[in-house]
Structure 1
Amino acid sequence: MNGVLPDTRIKALIAEGAISASPAIIPEQIQPASLDLRLGTTAYRLRASFLTGKGRRVMERLPDFQMHQMDLTDGAVLERGCVYLVPLMERLALPKGLTAVANAKSSTGRLDLLTRLVTDDGTEFDRLPEGYDGPIYAEICPRSFSVLVRPGMRLNQLRLREGQAVLTDPELVSLNEAQPLVTGGPALIDQGLGFSVDLRPETGDLVGYRAKPHSGVVDLDRIGAYDAREFWDQLHTTEGRLILDPGAFYILVSREAVAIPPDYAAEMAPYLAMVGEFRVHYAGFFDPGFGVGEAGHGARGVLEVRCHEAPFVLEHGQVVGRLVYERMAERPERLYGEGIKSNYQGQGLKLAKQFA
C-alpha cells in the first residue's frame, strides 16, 4: 500500500542496510513515522548556504564555501547568525519506489534553529529522490540563540514515502466525518486542514512569546534548565490583535486543537503567501496519534512565526497555515505519546523543552 512508512518498515530498511550509520542506529531514533538523524563529529562554518547541484558532491563543493572546521566531540557553540554544515551519522541507499523528506524536529523549530537536509546531487533542501545513495548532511543556522551542540544530537528527522500519500480535499472531508480532526472550531478544508491563530485565550491574556535579540547560549541537552524570561518576552493582549515586527521570531498557538488518527500522518505547511508576509513554521511533522489518547481532545499546533518585509497585524482567528494529511502505508507499532517520550502531546502554548 502506498503511504508514509511506519516504524516497522523503517526497522526493516535498517536491517537490510538501506539505512546505515556509524555508530549504529539506536531504538530511540525511530519514531512512529520518521527517523531522527544524528549530528556527526565535525562542523564546517560556511560563508553562505548552498545547494550542491546536479552531478556534484557536497564534499567537492565545500572548499568553495568553508571558512573553518570545528570538532564537536567535546561540544561546540554554533553562533547565532552563522551557517554551518554538519555531516550526519546516517547514510541512505533508498530502494526503488521510496522517496524521503526531512524536517526539523519540534524543539529545533521552537528554538528558531533553521536546520535543513543537504545531499549530493541536490537541487533542493530536505528532499531525497528514489534511488538516492550517499551521505547526508545538516545545514544549521541559529537565528535567535547561539546553541551548544555535541555529536549524536538529533535536530532533524526523515520521513520515507512509497508512492502518493497525500489526501485530497474530498478524502480529508470523508476522514473528518468519520473521525473528527478538529475541536475548537469548524474544519476548514482547502488544500489541507486550515488552522488559525489564537489571540483570545480562554484564561488570561498571554498569547505568545517573542525571542529576545541578545541572549545567552542554549545547551540543547539541558532540559527544563533555562529561565524563559532570560530568552523570551511574553506577549499579552486583550484586543485579539498582535503586530509582528519584521525579522522578529514569535511562538504563538493555533486556535484549533487537531488530531492525527493512527493510520495517518501530517505535515504543517505555510498557508498561501497572499495572506501576509510571514512564515508560520520551521518544524512540521505530526506523527500518528498526535492529539489522540487519554484526553482525546486533540492538541493545538504551536506556530513558529517570523515576519518579513513590513510590520504585519495578526487578528484572532486569522487563518495562517494548513495541515497536509498523508495516509500511512501501515499502522505504526507505537503511536505518538504511547510508550515513547513525547514532549508535546496534549500541548497548548509551549516553548521548547529546554526552557523551564
Structure 2
Amino acid sequence: MSEFTAPGILPCQSIEALIDQGAISSAGPWDTDQVQPASLDLRLGARAWRVRASFLPRRGTVRQRIAEVAMHELDLTKGAVLERGCVYIAELQERLKLPKGISARANPKSSTGRVDVFVRLLSDFGDAFDDVNEGYEGPIYMEVAPQTFSVLVRTGTRLNQLRLKTGEPPRLRTESVGVDLTGEIAGFRGRRHAGVVDLDHVDGHDPRDFWEPLYPRDGQLLLDPGEFYILASKGAVEIPVMEAAEMTPIDPSVGEFRVHYAGFFDPGFGTDEAHGKGSKGVLEVRSHETPFILEDGQTVARLVYEPLTEKPSRLYGDLGSHYQRQGLKLSKHFRVWGE
C-alpha cells in the first residue's frame, strides 16, 4: 500500500492491500464481495455470549469482561436466535494488526439498521464503541442488541462494516436531511410481536407480518414513544466518487427521536456514474419517551462528507446492491410491499 500524504478514508484497493499485507486477517476464507468501495464487511465468528449488560473493556480484554458478565454461550455454526430485548457479544472472523497511522471506525450495515438491530464494535482495552485506535493489534467483537424483532444469525452473517482511515479526515461539508411525508405510504412501523427475521434470507419474509404501513395526514406523522419507523429522505442523496459520508443524528433539542443506526454511505451512492441518480436515504427512526409530531421536510439528520485518499477502483453498486436507486424501502430481507 502506498504512503498517504493527506488524511482520508481508504478506498477498496487500499483495504485489499492491507489484507494482502496481513494487517487484516480472517479465521476463514474471504468472501468475494466482502470489500466494499470504502469499507469492509465484518462477519460473525463461531461463538456468541448472552450477557447481563453492555460494557466497555477499558482496562482489559473483551474476553476477560465476557467471563464476568456472560450468562450462556451460543454456537453460531449451527445458527442461533438472538432475542429482542437481550444483549449479546459475538466474536468476529476478522482480526486486526493495523499499521502506524491507520485507525478504523465501524457502523451497522444498512440492512442491520433497517431491522432495528443495534450493533457496536468492541476492541481490547477500548474506551469507546466502534472506534479502533491507530496501530491496534488483536481480535474484534460485536455487541448485538435486537430491539424490535428477534433475529436468526449464523457464522458468516454480516451485521456491521469497518471503515479504515489515515489521520483525521477533514469534514468537507455537512448537509441537512429532511423527511418525506408526501407519499401514498409515508413509512412503516415495526410490529413488536412479529416472528423471527433470518438475516441471511434475502426476499424471504412477507413484510405484512413484520410492518404496518403508515399514511400521512396533512404532511404530518405522529411518532409514538418506543416505536421503530422506516421513513425516507425528502431529497435525493448523492455521494461523489472521491468522498464518503456518514449520516449522524441531529441535536436532541430539535426533536425527541434518534435517526439512522446505519450511517455509512459509500462513494458512488446515488450518482449518475454508478447508475444510481435519484436514490434517497432511508431513515431508521426511534422515538424517545415523548410522543412527537414529525412534519414533511423537517430536518431529522445530517450527512457529514469526508475525503477518500484516492478514487476507489469500484463504486457503490458495482458488485450489486439492494439499495441503489431506492426510494422508501425496507431491508433486503423483505419482499417488496404489495407484491
Which TM-score applies when normalising by structure 1? 0.90
Query: Given that residues 300 and 347 in structure 1 are in contact (C-alpha distance below 8 angstroms), is that contact kept between their aligned partners in structure 2?
Result: yes
Deviations 1:80-118 (A, max 9, x none): 111110000000011111110000000000000111101
The CA distance in 2 between the partners of 1:289 and 1:228, in whole Å, is 29
Which is worse superposed, 291-300 or 237-246?
291-300
The CA distance in 2 between the partners of 1:87 and 1:215, in whole Å, is 27
Q: Which amino acid aligns with 2:317?
A: G
Match of 2:164 among 149, 160, 166: 160
Deviations 1:150-209 (A, max 9, x none): 1011110000011232334xxx3xxxxxxxxxxxxxxxxxxx1111011112xxx21000
Aligned to 1:183: none
Aligned to 1:104: 108
Aligned to 1:25: 30
Aligned to 2:73: 69
- The answer to whether the aligner puts 1:198 opposite 2:151 as a matched pair is no
SS of residue paired to 1:148: strand
The CA distance in 1 between the partners of 2:278 and 2:101, in whole Å, is 33
- The answer to whether the aligner puts 1:270 opposite 2:275 as a matched pair is no
Match of 1:82 among 86, 100, 120: 86
* Cα deviation, residue 295, structure 1: 5.0
Aligned to 2:215: 236
* Cα deviation, residue 238, structure 1: 3.5
- The answer to whether the aligner puts 1:37 opposite 2:42 as a matched pair is yes
The CA distance in 2 between the partners of 1:91 and 1:26, in whole Å, is 15
Q: Aligned runs of 1:255-294 on 2, under 5 Å?
A: 255-293=234-272
The CA distance in 2 between the partners of 1:282 and 1:213, in whole Å, is 18
* Cα deviation, residue 37, structure 1: 0.3
Aligned to 1:211: 190
Query: Given that residues 259 and 286 in structure 2 are in contact (C-alpha distance below 8 angstroms), is that contact kept between their aligned partners in structure 1?
Result: yes
The CA distance in 2 between the partners of 1:99 and 1:296, in whole Å, is 30
Runs of 4+ that moved beyond 2 A: 24-27, 293-298
Q: Which amino acid aligns with 1:108?
A: T
Q: Aligned runs of 1:290-305 on 2, under 5 Å?
A: 290-293=269-272, 297-305=277-285
Q: Which amino acid aligns with 2:297?
A: G
**RMSD in angstroms over aligned alpha carbons?**
1.1
SS of residue paired to 1:91: strand
The CA distance in 1 between the partners of 2:299 and 2:238, in whole Å, is 18
* Cα deviation, residue 296, structure 1: 5.6
SS of residue paired to 2:180: coil
The CA distance in 2 between the partners of 1:95 and 1:295, in whole Å, is 35
* Cα deviation, residue 320, structure 1: 0.8
Match of 1:134 among 133, 138, 142: 138
Query: Given that residues 152 and 198 in structure 2 are in contact (C-alpha distance below 8 angstroms), is that contact kept between their aligned partners in structure 1?
Result: yes
* Cα deviation, residue 75, structure 1: 0.8
The CA distance in 2 between the partners of 1:104 and 1:166, in whole Å, is 22
Aligned to 1:189: none
SS of residue paired to 1:41: strand
Unaligned runs of 5+ in 1: 173-191
Q: Which amino acid aligns with 2:89?
A: L
SS of residue paired to 2:67: helix
Query: Given that residues 276 and 324 in structure 2 are in contact (C-alpha distance below 8 angstroms), is that contact kept between their aligned partners in structure 1?
Result: no
Match of 1:332 among 301, 312, 315: 312
For these two proteins, the number of residue pairs brought into alignment is 329
Q: Which amino acid aligns with 1:352?
A: S
Aligned to 1:322: 302
The CA distance in 2 between the partners of 1:134 and 1:335, in whole Å, is 30
Deviations 1:280-338 (A, max 9, x none): 01101100000013656331110000000110110111111110001000111100012
Match of 1:123 among 116, 124, 127: 127
Query: Given that residues 7 and 170 in structure 2 are in contact (C-alpha distance below 8 angstroms), is that contact kept between their aligned partners in structure 1?
Result: no
